[in-house]
Amino acid sequence: MTKHLDASAAGKDHYLILDGLRGVAAVMVVLFHICETFRPGQPLTQWINHGYLAVDFFFLLSGFVIAYAYDDRWQAMGLRDFFKRRLIRLQPMVVMGMLVGAAFYYLQAGPAFPTIDATPVWVMLLVMLIGCTLLPLPPSMDIRGWGEMHPLNGPAWSLFFEYIANILYALGLRKLSNRWLGVLVALAAALLLHLVLFGPRGDLIGGWSITPQQLHIGFARLLFPFLAGMLLMRLGKRIRIKYAFETCSVLLVVALALPRFGGAEHLWMNGLYEALCVIVLFPVIVAIGAGASLVAGPATRAATFFGQLSYPLYITHYGLIYTYVAWMTDHQAASTLVKGAMGAVVFASSIAIAWACLKLYDLPVRRWLTARFIHAPGRRVPGQPPRSQRAASTAK
């Protein structure tokens, strides 16, 4: 573990390797979405087939990090301070993701998204403004045709569930003993297993719409990994090996890239694989990442880069993916080489946009918000007595 300041943790150390692994998973998400356009509607033969499981890995990391950063601070920190810190950490890039999605929206008009041409600008702007609040949109406000709760930036659905997890943690989960938290983890694992083994798809794809079926998927994907991440942090289970970042990165990439199992005849086989990833493999990866120490060198630099890139990349890349889908639909006769070259441009552009958003927008905005609302002059730091008490103590 290395020293690294984070606004949400108020100066606590955080796990650089886990940050880096989040970035590796985000890169796999982008590659998954690019490859998905080559085989639309064909999940059985999708290249980088399980890239969507990165979201479940994100939820696990979130539960671990939230419990680490805040479990021991509630006597000195109230709900208001907690929510301010989480909003400062997450909300600026939520807004940027919607702005990027809006900027590319009308460039995607065509056969892939026939509703775009019929969407007035004011309606698109209304959808964008609501999206900036992360409030989910009903199917009646879908301006793309994919049924997403955020049609300008589909991946924002997972941030919606992230906020739900943060609210549940602040209002009650943080108060649970490890025994009761373990009970909830077991129940959430049963919910997850039921979905992947007995559901109609044999996978964890979904969660992005405000429909009963999609909400069922979304909560099944959220609850186990988030709760398990909390419990893993509290139990202090760590695995210490050499080359932890490299090993965990390979395990994660392989898990997300493997082809689908069982085919259309045995959907339960793929469901079992995904359940093993989320319930067994991902916690092991986090335990290794949390138990490792980094020294200056290539692994530290790589973990730092991927960690900084992770959230901006995940939340801004999909505007380009929509545009790539539209381009692929309009150029079906193009050669695989040309399509692949355009995919490489989309990947490189996604990295560049995310890095620019990080350096020019996210970091400066979060620094300003932190100074304004967390460390403002005269504001009492959580854990310190009121100014009058400090003055009395000094006088004595």
Q: pLDDT tens digit string along 96-129?
A: 999 999 999 999 999 999 999 999 999 999 999 9
Say how far apart CA 75 and CA 195 lie, in whole Å. 38
Q: Comparing C-alpha atoms, which of 181, 175, 220 is closest to residue 198?
A: 220
Which of 38-47, 70-79, 383-392 has the highest average model confidence (pLDDT)?
Answer: 70-79
Residue 333's CB is within 10 A of a number of other CB atoms, namely 6
Amino acid at 67: A
* Contact of 235 with 177, CB cutoff 8 Å: no
Contacts of residue 50, defined as CB under 8 A and 6 or more positions apart, other chains included, come to: 255, 256, 257, 258, 260, 273, 274, 277
Report which of residues 294 and 356 the model is more confident about: 356
Which token pair is 58? 């994100």
240, exposed or middle or buried, with CB in 10 Å at 0-12, 13-18, 19+? Answer: exposed
- The confidence score (pLDDT) of residue 9 equals 44
Q: pLDDT tens digit string along 28-42?
A: 999 999 999 988 777
Residue range 292-320: mean pLDDT, rounded = 91
Residues in the chain, overall count: 396
Q: pLDDT tens digit string along 243-299?
A: 999 999 999 999 999 999 998 899 999 999 999 999 999 999 999 999 987 667 888
- The confidence score (pLDDT) of residue 387 equals 43
* Contact of 313 with 34, CB cutoff 8 Å: no
Helices 282-291 and 244-257 sit at what angle, rounded to 10 degrees? 160
Give the dihedral of Cα atoms 310, 350, 341, 328; nearest 10 deg: 110
Say how far apart CA 72 and CA 81 lie, in whole Å. 14
Q: What is the pTM of this model?
A: 0.91
The secondary structure of residue 243, as a DSSP letter, is T
Q: Comparing C-alpha atoms, which of 88, 61, 60, 85 is closest to residue 73?
A: 85
